[in-house]
Structure 1
């Protein structure tokens, strides 16, 4: 016999339990380490036309910013942050923006942006910061390898991500903070590369960020994967001309999270309708058996699907 659907009361009770757990775990564990100091970044001019020489100058300036933050982290005694920043400042790394303060903000380009005909912007979810940046970059590199020539991928760590186990990952507050920055970055990018096809790829909590920014994103596709929901009841509720696509891997634990909302005093937790559900109305793509952190894994069905969307060969969307 098929399992009975959860009642609204049961869903709300579980969501309340998740909230309680998310609050209790950080409080009962060790205190978060003090913030690592970093210098304020220089004010950058808009990208303008993206020529190779202009980009080289911008990337060189980014490496100088990162090295300055590395040196400050070393003086602060944080060898982990200093080592991470040393890697980021290595030869060939291409950062359009960098700010080492408050967990870090950055936008790293993989590929040749000046010649790219298709560009993907990766928007990460909870738990990603300068100390945990490697996974985001590895996913960007794997996607670039799958796309091949004429492509660029931007790893956009442009906001203060919520903690993985914490109340901030259950509300839209961080997404509301992040959305204006994502809109501004994508607007600058699309202005600078008017002939490129741009797609935003939104993982986990990043899908909440993209949903909040969606109405101001002039892109071909908005791709939601491993999503807890968006806060909108449907793709139409995102008020975007972009094709909204969604995927959920067969081994992704987030499938067990109740797709509902719960109004508590002063805050609403949860993000509502599952983006892969028929009632949401997104174009659903094959995510294979991906786990929550595996959507851009080499050789995976989800990687092939996402690369096809970025390349414009998936069908059903804007060219």
Structure 2
């Protein structure tokens, strides 16, 4: 029996009024329908899939929308890391804007819990240039804070984000807000003004780059003086308590500039080749007297500093470096006060290593000796002023000043430079280790360019005074 005959038989079967009424009820049709034809059967059979859903009849599971090629924003929001970045690249500018509005926390997590720098570097290199540019324009806060993205791109993105944030705050103030909100917005403007001031070129003439920017709460900012992509010597300056973006970023960037100048002078004086870059790194929320007693913020600093060092190595070890081998820069960390605790935690517990670690005014750390720290050749240096009370506190564990810790102690006392004859100043208290013209700045600069053998120690100073 062919298909037409079957259709006729079915039609005939449904022409029975009693049977038609039952079937029509099941199919959601009126049981009073007068005539059943091939057309009405086809129409009825086309309805149940939609109407059954409305009446809570279980339907077969067909899975979520496939990712890519028309995927929903909700599906994309379930992703993270590089998979999320891939989808954000494929969205149109309008879709990206909608995504940020709908899922701000998902976007924010790309900064708070970013993919590994090596994965980001690989992703960036394989993403088409036009797509990268579009993503940077639409999501500058994301691109600007991704470790593994080239520093020039991050600087451009973060400057865009900075300008947009300032403009948005002014627009809110002009529109009118409550007193509490106005105070908060003006405090944020003050913080962002400090970032803008810190980006002004200093005495060295080296361009400053905005490597990272977080405008939430008390903010975070990382500013490089010099070219991180090309420098032979890179020094990260990690701060301790009370060093916030609004209050101290300008001075902290000035400290990085002071060291860069000193390092450049010593390279020239010693007839050594090499370019220098220093990093004013306020990449974590530094403690105040309210929360200084705990290690929570030190762990935050540990992980953020780890990401920054890994980011440097990912950028310098990318495809371009593979084609033209780059041994990478000589990397040093100069850490002050609570920042020294964060730095030692990073080098003890995380997957990074550096060429030199310089600790000043340290309250200690869980590390018990230089053997616990991933520093090349145990190249760990430590110093403290006689009038600095923090190292004597022993609040966070082993004290790197102790002889059995194994660090080399350098001098911060007033002296005459044994090479140049320059008069160098003493350090008084806890905060002046980076003051221009001090023994401390001279010695940390030499250590940061791999010339620690020329750093003065108190023993050397004693011998010099005897003569």
Is the CA contact 1:70–1:86 (under 8 Å) kept in the aligned structure 2?
no
Matched, 1:290 2:422: no
Q: Determine the C-alpha separation between the residues in 1 that align with 2:168 and 2:198.
A: 15
Q: Could you tell me how far 1:81 is from its partner in structure 2?
A: 2.8
- Name the residue aligned to 2:352: 217
- Name the residue aligned to 2:340: 207
Q: Could you tell me how far 1:174 is from its partner in structure 2?
A: 0.9
SS in 2 for 1:295: coil
Matched, 1:274 2:410: no
TM-score scaled by structure 1? 0.74
For residues 272-299 of structure 1, give each alpha carbon's deviation from its aligned partner in whole angstroms, at most 9, with x where no partner exists. Answer: 2321121221111112231321111111
- Name the residue aligned to 1:245: 381
SS in 2 for 1:114: coil
Q: Determine the C-alpha separation between the residues in 2 that align with 1:230 and 1:64.
A: 38
Is the CA contact 2:147–2:307 (under 8 Å) kept in the aligned structure 1?
no
Larger helix proportion of the pair? 2
Q: Could you tell me how far 1:258 is from its partner in structure 2?
A: 2.5
Q: Could you tell me how far 1:73 is from its partner in structure 2?
A: 4.8
Larger strand proportion of the pair? 1
Once the two structures are superposed, the pairs formed by residues 92-171 of structure 1 within 5 Å of their partners are 92-132=207-247, 133-148=249-264, 150-163=275-288, 165-166=289-290, 168-171=291-294
- Name the residue aligned to 2:186: 77
For residues 33-61 of structure 1, give each alpha carbon's deviation from its aligned partner in whole angstroms, at most 9, with x where no partner exists. Answer: xxxxxx9622455436xxxxx54333222
Is the CA contact 1:201–1:222 (under 8 Å) kept in the aligned structure 2?
yes
Q: Determine the C-alpha separation between the residues in 1 that align with 2:199 and 2:446.
A: 31
Gaps of 5+ in 2: 1-106, 109-140, 174-184, 202-206, 265-273, 317-326, 414-425, 455-467
Matched, 1:62 2:162: no
- Which of 1 and 2 has higher RCO (CA within 8 Å, sep 6+)? 1
Q: Could you tell me how far 1:253 is from its partner in structure 2?
A: 3.3
Query: What CA RMSD, in Å, does the superposition of the two structures yield over aligned residues?
Result: 2.5
Gaps of 5+ in 1: 1-38, 49-53, 260-269
Q: Which has the larger radius of gyration?
A: 2
- Name the residue aligned to 1:5: none
Cα 1:285–1:104, aligned 2, differ >3 Å: closer, same or farther?
A: same
Q: Determine the C-alpha separation between the residues in 2 that align with 1:55 and 1:273.
A: 36
Q: Could you tell me how far 1:218 is from its partner in structure 2?
A: 1.8
